[in-house]
Amino acid sequence: MATSTSVNHAGQWAQISTTTPAKSISKLDSFIQSQAENKTFWFLLSLVFQGVFFLPLPALLIYYFNAPTLIVIITLTLFFANIIAGMGGAGIKTLLKLFVASIAIQVLMAIICML
């Protein structure tokens, strides 16, 4: 015996908006896709940025903060991963994600070794 004022009303669930994270992800995805024609620029920028800021980082951390030598292996692995991805013809999405991931790993590694 159902009445006209049912508790399970389909209109209730349609009003809840969960598009905020989806909008930011779609904006990020559209930005990445718009940069597809600039793939060479992003590849060279990642190499220069890592070569200037992050390749000297292991020497600094090992000499001044007595960091383990594993830092050299991590730094060179990230640098050569960017070279292989860029020269191997990886897509723009892979290049940018690898660039951001290598920056995050390097900064986190430096913070941990300085503490």
Separation CA 85–CA 99 (nearest Å): 10
| Helices 92-114/70-87 angle, 10° precision | 170
* 71 within a domain of the structure (yes/no): yes
* 3 within a domain of the structure (yes/no): no
Separation CA 28–CA 26 (nearest Å): 5
pTM, 2 dp: 0.74
pLDDT tens profile 43-75: 999 999 999 999 999 999 999 999 999 999 999
* 112 within a domain of the structure (yes/no): yes
Range of the domain at 106: 55-115
Cβ distance 96 to 35 under 8 Å? yes
- In the chain, the number of structural domains is 1
User: Band of the pLDDT at 16, cuts 50, 70, 90?
Assistant: low
